[in-house]
Structure 1
Amino acid sequence: MYNGKNVIGIVTEFNPFHEGHRYLVDSIRLRYGDCYVIAAMSGDFVQRGEPAIFDKYERCRDALRNGVDMVVQIPEIFSTSSAEDFAAGGVATLRSLGIVDTILFGSESGDMGALMKVAELELSSGSRNAKLNSAIRDNVVAGMSYAKARAEAIRLVLSGDDDRAFQHMLDNVCTGGESELPKEADRAEELAASGRLKPNDILGIEYIKAVKRQGDCFRIDCIRRNMEYESAHSIRDAIRSGDEDRGRDEYADVDMLSDMLSYRLLQLYYLDQMEPEQPTSFLEYLDVSREIADALKKQVHERMTFTERIKSIKSKNYTYTRISRALIHILLDIHKRDSLVLRGRFFGEGDMMPYVRVLGVRKRAKDMMGSVETTVVTSPARYKKQLESVRKRETIETTEELILSINASHAEIMFHQDMYAADIYNQIYRVASGNGENAGSGNEFTQKFIVMDC
């Protein structure tokens, strides 16, 4: 609670902000009355392994104009990761604020009881969990993608459940109609094969699991999505196709990163050539398997777009999104070892993130930042100096100084990755300046903190 009002947290991408998001925010206020809404939002790159179509500051402004009180950034190492880590990273970001009461998500089924059952099954350590894992393995061996194998295994294990509401949910979250699929043929195939639970229900299960693993840190609630609103997929497709009704010429697209990616792949390839007996440069990066690494080496001399590289590797074992995330992690220099360290530190009970980046706030909620329990970063330049001052200490004499040093080392990993990602993004994203010329979206160290009176 803050000022006697509920504080509701949502995890989102707002890629871009649309009417469905406004419906969610309005529905929160209808349910909870005069409350505060805080959004943990992806920064410059999103969970599908792509750049956000508009920069994070524009998406933040849109959210604030439409009822969100505060927007905080999910670190890039989590926002570009798997659904499980994306959800856990968003939950950890909100938990680190120390002022959020309830986490709420949009859901196709709107059936919290049913989603809770699935989450509890996956979290369990008894015979039902063993049966679930065995069924997943059997389905994968039979040729299913992991996502579909998981969905079918859940159905098998819970098929004897007497809860009619759960069975009703299973019957109603079968793979949806054509309107819910991306227009690109390969992505449509990917979603069609991804199982019976729809995307927001799958994320909802991951939010529930993350909350449980992080010490039951929030109350959990969901609101059923209004499927009449246009999806973010279709809005992005329309913008990229030049739809005149959208009125947008400036946006970021994954193929704008093609040349930078080609350079990075060549760099790693020749690093491996210097150590041919242990070629591991590619394997250091998050989501890059041995098979993906070998496939990338075979195509490294070819002039290909980002999308073409994904399609040449895509197979039954590796989805479009998994490969795209692997390539983004190579480009953004996101390592497996850093992910393991940060997940181990912040995805359990207790430890909060050493800082939370606040992108913007409405005036009515500005004072709330004074109640945040971790370090609030509104100026990257100022925070960079704070981290440098800790690093310059030559000796550590007390336990408090040791903890400060460890926290600073973890903070540096997230902070520098976020700054690097922002610099990469600003190379491809252009917005119209006042004189009609194109200008970059701005330097991260000079970008002003957003406060809106709305």
Structure 2
Amino acid sequence: MSKVKPEIVGIIAEYNPFHNGHLYQLQQVKERFPGAKIVVAMSGNFLQRGEPAAFDKWTRATQALANGADVVLELPVADALQPADRFAFGGVRALAAFGAEVLAFGAEHATYDFMAYARLTQNLTGNFKKYDQAYAASWQEAIAQKIGHEVSSPNDLLGLAYAKANLALGEPLSLYPIRRIKAAYHEEDLYKDQVIASATAIRQAYLAGKLTDLQAYVPKSTFVDLQSQKMLSWADFWPLLRYRLTMARIEDLGQIYGMAEGIEYRLVQQLEQLGPQATFEEWLKAVKNKRFTYTRLSRLATAVLLDLRTEEVKVYQKAPFLRLLGFSQAGQTLLNKVKKNTPYPLVTRVTQKDKQTFLATDYKVGRIYQLLNGRQQDIKRQVIRF
């Protein structure tokens, strides 16, 4: 670490939902950096892997603040709905702009020197457009050849993405990997002899009606939300996406962010062939080919649902901003010091003018999520004071 006692430690997260594994991570940060404030850059209502958040951004921010975070910032959709490298860049940029000195993150192999790996692979070139292989697989092969071993576990790959983003930004952050314990990233089962389960397992158990089983795996604040709110999934948004695909012109779909190689024709064609009873998962499977991973297709489906245009993403990247969702008492003291020095605007409330200008895209995204959960997402929402 470049600084023994940092004032601000950053975390990039989704908290979908906040569970005991996330609580463990916060506890590890507090133990390693006593006295430091924890600032979380959290995805908003739609997530990096191309899915709606189980709970809205305000609920998840409150869960984080209730369990030890001091400030929660929203990663705008143009940062959140991205492949790992661009998602990481947006998160690192936001935390560095807020004054964080350390980035803490979970990793399957916390002993890896991620910054060293980033330097080895920063100018990596290769044939990443093999038509019999997805980009992600080609990229992992090239990394393994350069480093000398595979880096294939989900959080290790994300850790490498954080390191590469940090390198590209001039290394404003020191990295603090925390070894993931118990549940693997995509683990789908709950184990009664454990208190940590993956977010995937928690969501699947909830959707299967096993609410009472979840009490052991989440903090009290999250369990209250599980009891009082409906957890959303693609099944809820699928009718809206079907409508968008049915009504949109092909040339308009071609303007959606991430659309490539004429895949828009396949999206519509497979929807028409499957018929009205098809589920989102059945449609995604029908659309899948060797060039497009399921995750990339899910992100693309989300972009279609949100009518997220390439030009909108470019506008944000030229003029990024920070969106404040909530803070603790300790976080308020930090905010008073930081807000005067951030290089980007710090948004604390959404005005009528904002929703028509630089916040237009994220306001639209919030409105779409609001259609399903019935809670205001921007206008009239006050920053959470925990």
Give the letter aligned to residue 116 of structure 1.
M
Q: Which residue in the other structure is 1:428 paired with? A: 372
Q: Deviations over 1:205-247 (max 9, x none)?
A: 1111111112222222211112352111111111111113146
Letter in 1 for 2:350: P
C-alpha distance in structure 2 between counterparts of 1:95 and 1:264, whole Å: 37
Whose radius of gyration is greater, 1 or 2? 1
Structure 2 equivalent of residue 433 of structure 1: none
Q: Choose the corresponding residue for 1:147, options 124, 136, 141.
A: 136
Q: Match for residue 257 of structure 1? A: 237
Counterpart for residue 296 of structure 1: 267
| Alignment correspondent of 1:285 | 256
The structure-2 alpha-carbon separation of the partners of 1:365 and 1:309, relative to structure 1 and needing over 3 Å to count, comes to same
> How far 1:295 moved relative to its partner?
0.6
Compared CA separation, residues 158 and 61, structure 1 to 2 (3 A):
closer
Counterpart of 2:160, as a letter, is I
The RMSD of aligned alpha carbons is 2.3
Write the distance in 2 (CA, Å) between the matches of 1:116 and 1:38.
21
Which runs of 5 or more structure 1 residues have no equivalent in the other structure?
Answer: 160-166, 171-195, 273-279, 347-352, 389-411, 430-439
1:284 alignment partner, SS class: coil
Please, what TM-score do these two structures have when normalized by structure 2? 0.84
Alpha-carbon spacing, 1:386–1:341, altered in 2? closer, same or farther (3 Å)? closer
AA matched with 2:116: K
Q: Distance in 2 between matches of 1:16 and 1:377?
A: 24
Structure (1 or 2) with the greater helix fraction:
1
Q: Distance in 1 between matches of 2:152 and 2:271?
A: 36
The answer to whether 1:419 aligns with 2:325 is no
Which residue of structure 1 aligns with residue 380 of structure 2? 446
Gaps of 5+ in 2: 184-195, 215-225
Contact residue 42 and residue 74 of structure 2 kept, 8 A:
yes
- Give the equivalent residue in structure 2 for 1:180: none
Tell me the equivalent position of 2:147: 158
Q: 1:443 to 1:103 in 2, by over 3 A?
A: closer
C-alpha distance in 2, partners of 1:385/1:153? 47
Partner of 1:183: none
After TM superposition, which residue ranges in structure 1, 4 or more long, deviate above 6 angstroms?
none
| Correspondence for 1:369 among 320, 335, 347 | 335
1:240 to 207, 219, 231: 207
| Structure 2 counterpart of 1:337, one-letter code | E
Aligned equivalents of 2:173, 2:362: Cα separation in 1: 26
Aligned equivalent of 2:189? none
Preserved contact between residue 7 and residue 36 of structure 1 (Cα < 8 Å): yes
Report if aligned partners of 2:115, 2:167 keep a CA contact under 8 Å in 1: no
> Given the superposition, is the C-alpha separation of residues 220 and 244 from structure 1 closer, same or farther in structure 2, using an over 3 Å criterion?
closer
Partner residue in 2 for 1:267: 247
1:216 aligns to what? 171
Instruction: Give the aligned residue type for 2:333.
Output: D
The alpha-carbon deviation at position 323 of structure 1 amounts to 0.8
One-letter amino acid matched to 1:19: N
CA shift, 1:386, in A, is 6.0
TM-score for the superposition, normalised by structure 1: 0.72
Paired AA for residue 385 in structure 1: K
Deviation at 1:121, TM superposition (A): 2.6
Matching of residues 18-417 of structure 1 within 5 Å: 18-97=19-98, 99-113=99-113, 115-124=114-123, 129-130=124-125, 133-134=126-127, 136=128, 140=130, 143-159=132-148, 170=150, 197-228=152-183, 229-245=196-212, 246=214, 248=227, 250-269=230-249, 272=250, 280-301=251-272, 302-303=275-276, 304-343=278-317, 345=318, 353=320, 355-370=321-336, 371-372=338-339, 373=342, 374-381=344-351, 384-385=352-353, 412-413=357-358, 415-417=359-361
Query: Structure 2: which amino acid aligns with 1:107?
Result: A
> Quick check: 1:369–1:376 contact (8 Å CA) kept in 2?
no
Identity among equivalent positions (%) equals: 29
Q: What secondary structure, in the 3-state scheme, does the structure 2 residue paired with 1:11 have?
A: strand
1:292–1:323 Cα contact (<8 Å) kept = no
The total of aligned residue pairs comes to: 351
